[in-house]
Structure 1
Amino acid sequence: MQRYAWNNDTLKGRVLSPVSTVHYTARDGTPIEAVLTLPRLRAPKNLPLIVLPHGGPFARDSEGWDWWVQYLAELGYAVIQPNYRGSSGYGIDFAKKGEGQWGLKMQDDLDDAIPFLAKQGIADPKRVCMIGASYGGYAAMRAAQRNGDLYRCAVSYAGVSDLAAMQRYDGQFLFGKTRGDWLKKQAPDYRAVSPRFGAAAFTIPILLVHGREDKRVPVKQSRMMADALKAAGKPYDYIEQPLADHHFTRGEDRLEFLKAMAAFLAKHNPA
């Protein structure tokens, strides 16, 4: 066997935290596949937990290199990445299960990872935070609004807070109407599942981070959420990255985000 290159020239052949695929059943009987990463330096028992949903939401997580996840595991957290209903790669029927379920049953799928890992003794159900970007950022906002009893904190990068405003933004671009029709199927009642309008119901602190150069989800989405939380007197931190885009193209932005996330977690859900 001949090696042609390293995936990461800094890490090279360093031993990373182990990654595996697990399966659990959501409360309505829907089977959920998830990627579980356990910190290499700690015993897999009663660990603080990060629930980290992918973006999309028509996408999926799989075993492989993930810089967010490996960083969190290095800090001492177990990380679960559920491929909730509506994720890609599991057939049309599974994808359609997500229709009309943004912030509802899709959120239940994420929450149900907690008792699954707690029952196995892997995770401490009293030390859980949700972290995500894009749709995952939306889910983190929604967790802070809807299920604060399950989480200590939440972190949203480039999350969507107002679905109606998101549809108006998408409508400016090619195939905007098609995108809007699709979004309406995912969340028939925009206001009911838009975290911006439920700021008064937030019960845990949240860190909002957004890039000013984000063309996929405009920075206004996090600004509106921050303004709503401020008006409601709720705890939040807001960081706006002036040169960052939606995909963390710049290493400087990735590093700033990781440091801010680590500090926020150390304060609200220490490992």
Structure 2
Amino acid sequence: MIGFAPRVYAISMQWSDQAIILGIRRHGESSVIAEVMTSGHGRHLGLVRGGRSRSMQPVLQPGNSVEVTWRARLDEHLGEFRVEPMQLRAARLMEAAISVYGIQALGALLRLLPERDPHPHLYEALAVIVDHLQDPADAGELFVRFELAVLNDLGFGLDLSECAATGRRDELVYVSPKSGRAVSSDAGAPYAERMLALPAFLSGSRNAADHDGLAAAFRLTAHFLNRHVYEPRGIDASSARDGFVQATLKAFREAPKSAPQIVPPVG
């Protein structure tokens, strides 16, 4: 009886998507592994052959918008990226400490989420922020809202819409450090020393963030990121965040600007 070898079919996975470069690392002599945030496929890694070439290095810089085509035999494989430039921002982003630290801190936040888990609203928010990173007031407010959105997607969203004790939607000036819910001035007054400040620009007010409000917002999001994410996972917050906060507040004092018209979604 004659035996026949089974026929093996090559299975190929492929998709194309818009993406923003988060970072790269060397791989072999001439290639790199690129980390990107995509519109429909979440944070994704892929091998870029020839990524260290003179023509590709300017494209594969953090903050640049590109179109990527990913291919692999199986979905769980690393796969390869073909990268086409769309909007190259990196040279401009390297001009100021705010934007240098900012793009690094944004990447660190996105790494808290599972790889390849789609978060299209975070991609859209990231695209807005990278276009405003050189403006202190815009960058600071947008970054805080991005942190709130990441917390929400991790399952630790803050409820800043009404008072936890009374249901009031006005005079919201505190946040409970345990529940993450807003508290009105009257209800929170007896516990003021234990409360976190709720900046007006996060409580439904149309006012732009001022320096003190922005500093309070950074403390607010840092508290809940530490409480719910960094401490339970046994990891430290990105040092880039500290650099971004310090550079933003310093520049904000020197050149305050109005709030942006477009803000990332929080929900």
Q: Which category of TM-score, normalised to the shorter sequence, fits these structures?
A: under 0.3
When normalised by structure 2's length, the TM-score is 0.25
When normalised by structure 1's length, the TM-score is 0.25
Q: Rg: which structure is higher? A: 2
